Amino acid sequence: MRRRHVLTAGAALLARPALAQTARAWAPPTRMIIPYGAGNISDQVARVLIEAVGQRHGWRLAADNQPGAGGMLGTNALIRAPADGTVCGVVAAAALTILPHIQKNPRFDPFPELAPVTGLAISSSFLAVNAQLPVRSLAELAAYARARPADNPVFYYSPGNATVPHLNLEALSRGLDFPMQHVPYRTSQAGNTDLLANRVQVTLDSFSITLPHIQAGTLRALAYNGTERHPLLPEVPTMAEAAPGVQLVNTWVAVFFPRATPATVVDRAAHDLQDTVRSPAFLDRLPIGTAPFPLGPAELAERVRSDSARVGQLVAAIGLKAD
């Protein structure tokens, strides 16, 4: 028994140099492409990640903002980056699940050119109406919209055609069979100004845009597009409670490598990043209205495919084209 114990211990000691050598061979990426401008929600999440993974695992990542074309310019830069593990990127859902469906020919789908690593954060929104509107639930909004004359409909705003708020409100009105008229704006701030003035009546814009006005009483929340009720407004039902069977899109951001990056690099990066996404260093600094989204490579790939299929069907039904 003593000899067997010594041999086992010796085998473990012999294995350690190999493990140490593997650890030394691991070189995390040094550059992170962010296909959005500074201050964008995806940029905020990326910078929280950069700091957290540096503290937790010693990564030294330089942020490389390459905004433009709704994230497509930076995403294409990531696709063309060296596939040697030195470059990763943070990409938002729209670039992979919405924009490919509305591009003018030739259509380009970036997802097959990327290697999924890990999800980072997911955003949710409140369905909000101007507080002067005489409705206090989604069911009442649907009934109110159906009763409006065709020449004086309920208007909703979004921060542009084919944005997540636009697609979600179209999915909602179609799913519950009630009419609303879309009014696209260049920015959320411009649309929200008109919502507060009652020139438009409804939105499903981002949490940070609507929440202060909901809390102030100038907007009324009818439903929350999250998996459970939000602790700040626990009386507001989730969308699943208010509209069973209607599936909406959530905005998420995730890390990808160029497709040809070695699988060993992707797997090690996924391990370190998922550990970071679950850590207080990351969770405690997430922007308001976002939650952790620690999907692994296979789960992330499936999420892209399922979201893209659902969005593609909706885009075709609406007949959306690029502006």
Tell me, yes or no, whether 136 lies in a domain. yes
Residue 36 lies in a domain: yes
98 located within any domain:
yes
Tokens of 266: 């992707």
- The last residue of one of the domains, among 242, 270, 290, is 242
Cα–Cα distance between 297 and 287 in angstroms, integer? 24
**For residue 17, which phi and psi values (nearest 5 degrees)?**
-60, -35
Distances (CA, A) of 100 to 51, 96, 262: 31, 7, 26
Residues 68, 131 share a domain: no
Q: What is the CB-side half-sphere exposure of residue 140 using CA atoms within 13 A?
A: 12
Q: Looking at 242, 261, 283, which one is the last position of a domain?
A: 242
Query: For the chain, how many structural domains are there in total?
Result: 2
Residues 111, 55 share a domain: yes
Three-state DSSP at 48 gives helix
Does residue 14 lie within any of the structural domains? no
CA distances from 108 to 33, 226, 246, 281 (A): 20, 30, 29, 37
Tokens, residue 121: 């954060």
Residues 238 and 149 in one domain: yes
CA 214, distance to chain mean position in Å, is 23
Residue 10 inside a domain? The answer is: no
Of the three residues 225, 242, 259, the one that is the final residue of a domain is 242
The reply to whether 198 falls in a domain is yes
What is the C-alpha separation between 65 and 288, in angstroms, rounded?
A: 22
* Single-letter residue type at 321: K
3-state SS assignment for residue 321: coil
pTM, whole model, 2 decimals? 0.86
Closest by CA position to 207, among listed 280, 123, 145: 123
**180 and 262 belong to one structural domain:** no
Q: Which domain holds residue 205?
A: 126-242
Encode the chain (323 residues) as per-residue pLDDT tens digits.
433 333 333 333 334 343 333 444 689 999 999 999 998 999 999 999 999 999 999 999 999 999 998 899 999 999 999 999 999 999 999 999 999 998 876 567 899 999 999 999 999 999 999 999 999 999 999 999 999 999 999 999 999 999 999 999 999 999 999 999 999 999 999 999 999 999 999 999 988 899 999 999 999 999 999 889 999 999 999 999 999 999 898 899 999 999 999 999 999 999 999 999 999 999 999 998 899 999 999 999 999 999 999 999 999 988 887 65
CATH of the domain at 236: 3.40.190.10
Q: Kindly state whether residues 188 and 108 are assigned to the same domain.
A: no
- Statement to judge: residues 235 and 260 lie in one domain: no
- 224 close to 238: Cβ distance less than 8 angstroms: yes
117/132 same-domain check: no
Kindly list the strands in the beta sheet with 202-203, ordered across the sheet, starting from the edge strand earlier in the chain. Answer: 181-184, 155-158, 202-203, 126-130, 219-224
| Euclidean distance between the first and the last CA atom of the chain, given in angstroms as a whole number | 76
CB 251 within 8 A of CB 93: yes
Domain co-membership, 144 together with 217: yes
Q: Dig out the tokens for 167 from the structure.
A: 């697609």
Q: 116 and 139 in one domain?
A: no
| CATH code of the domain in which 63 resides | 3.40.190.150
14 Cβ neighbours under 8 A, 6+ residues apart: none
Farthest CA pair distance, the chain: 91
